[in-house]
Structure 1
Amino acid sequence: MPEPSLPSSTETIRLQLRSWPEVESYLERHKGVIVPLGSTEQHGPTGAIGTDALTAEAVALEVGRRTGVLVTPTQAFGMAEHHLGFAGTISLQPSTLLALLHDVVLSLARHGFERIYVINGHGGNIATARAAFAQAHASAASRGLSNADRLRCKLANWFMAGPVMHTARELYGEREGHHATPSEIALTLHLEPSLEAKQRPLPEPAPAGPIHGPEDFRRRHPDGRMGSDPYLASAAAGARFLDEAATALTADLEAFLSDDPAAAD
């Protein structure tokens, strides 16, 4: 599969800024596409509700800029049922998210895209996304899509990239926690400086524990955090996380595009 040429700016790799003839021309040379996937959910008393979508989009656009691979609009709603006890959270049920991702993959495959690379910013999306990929593969075959046997989907969780996790441990240790983490908050501070005004010291967070329904989550984690101290976050660290995530995922995407079976989910 040919390597895309490096674009000059993120505008040139945004699918929504291309015309359909331009996309057809792209598909004559390249078969890869990046789909940013996030969530709209509480991130503690000082974190932005759009954190997971903001970060997934930023990483996706930087990976697209480095590789020349087209980036679709961000899917900003995810599976966040357990956060519905907090105002502002908007969640899709797992079945809804599965159907949405299934239809996105099939729409792209119909046009000739064969490598669907989903850059995800929310842990709650992982199981559903993988199930959606399995269903989309089956549907592509049953519907007789000409490229069904070549269709591959892969989920890349930017926050789980090796260098990102290593830096988070180095900077924050156990204060990284499991939700409203300083690493993800740092990236939002880098992306949107106005969020600095929300930062303030917070009391000790509730420790991470099992996740059940929204009422149970609110009872166990009354301010929405799970063992994290987002006040440790800084915009400078956010810039570092963005570069580390984009570097790791760029290499992963290039392997995925190379037809290496080991690189596909």
Structure 2
Amino acid sequence: MRLQHATWQEVEAYLEREKGIIVPIGSTEQHGPNGLVGTDAICPEAIAWELGERHGVLVAPTQNLGMAQHHLAFPGTISLRPSTLMAVLRDTITSLSGQGFSHILFLNGHGGNIGTMSAAFAEVYAERSMRTGPQPAGELQLTTFNWFLGPRVRELAESLYGDAEGTHATASEVALSWFARPAAVKQVDMSPRIAPRGSAQCDAEEFRRRFPDGRMGSDPSLASVEHGERFLEAGVADLWEVYRAFVTSP
């Protein structure tokens, strides 16, 4: 069930029986020679949409822009400042919690978002705890799940790609994005086959010097649409396990 395809009456009826919602969040950034700029948003969105269809869970619109400043030297990347992303997350949470959603799970597709999301959650909890006067109604639970770190996804990536999986523009995320958007498949020779490894803690110009084609330790030429379907199944299984535990936690 997708929030943007529902009427407000349908959402109200959902809230009478369920209080949980999934918010896919990713980034708009370069993903190497054969990866889509939208990869980090497409992947969690595909997993969340599939889970929503199978299990009747409401899925919010995808937050497509994230904290991607280190990729800005590559055309097509759009980044929010950490402070901007925190404000977007806080307003999203405030909107949903004010309507009765008590368990909000952000399904994340971009490692660069993790620190900012944790800070945003801390701000929300602090505001609720330190408010004077009328207190917010009801409980509020927030959590993040990074689809690419799920146990089934990690096991599959290791079995298919080993050390060639890498840490950015990975074969697994390229494969999943291709399954979700098969018309966008691109076959490109990689040189070197496995990209350099290193840290992304730098400014955009330095990042491009370290990783000239945008990859980090990966060989995404190994990706395929068939692999992407397997990653979707693994991702849905990982997410469903986490989501059920989250919404039933005391």
TM range (shorter): over 0.9
Instruction: Tell me the residue number matched to 1:36.
Output: 24
Q: Deviations over 1:118-151 (max 9, x none)?
A: 101100001111111111122234262111xx20
Identity of aligned residues (%): 52
Structure 2 regions of 5+ residues with no counterpart? none
Distance in 1 between the 2:247 and 2:180 partners? 28
**Separation of aligned partners in 2, 1:231 and 1:138:** 45
- Does structure 2 retain, via aligned residues, the 8 Å contact 1:43–1:179? yes
Separation in 2 of the partners of 1:140 and 1:57? 29
Superposition TM-score, scaled by structure 2 size: 0.95
Aligned to 1:221: 211
**Is residue 106–residue 140 contact of structure 1 (8 Å, CA) maintained in 2?**
no
Per the alignment, residue 243 of structure 1 pairs with: 233
Q: Which residue of 2 aligns with 1:138?
A: 126
- The Cα of 1:52 is off from its aligned counterpart by 0.6
Residue 197 of structure 2 corresponds to 208
User: Is the Cα contact below 8 Å between 2:175 and 2:223 reproduced in 1?
Assistant: yes
In the TM superposition, residue 154 of structure 1 has moved relative to its aligned partner by 0.7
Give the match's secondary structure for 2:152.
Answer: helix
Q: Which residue of 1 aligns with 2:183?
A: 194
- TM-score, length-normalised on structure 1? 0.90
C-alpha displacement at 1:182, in angstroms? 0.5
85, 97, 105: which one aligns with 1:109:
97
Contact 2:27-2:68 at 8 Å conserved across structures: yes
SS of match in other structure, 2:17: coil
Partner of 1:231: 221
Match of 2:66 in 1: 78
Q: Is this contact kept in 2: 1:66–1:250, CA < 8 A?
A: no
In structure 2, distance between residues paired with 1:228 and 1:70: 34
Q: Determine the C-alpha separation between the residues in 2 that align with 1:127 and 1:186.
A: 26
2:94 and 2:122 map into 1 onto residues whose CA distance is 12
CA–CA separation in structure 2 for the residues paired with 1:66 and 1:15: 15
Specify which of 131, 146, 150 is matched with residue 157 of structure 1. 146
Instruction: Give the deviation of 1:102 after TM superposition.
Output: 0.9
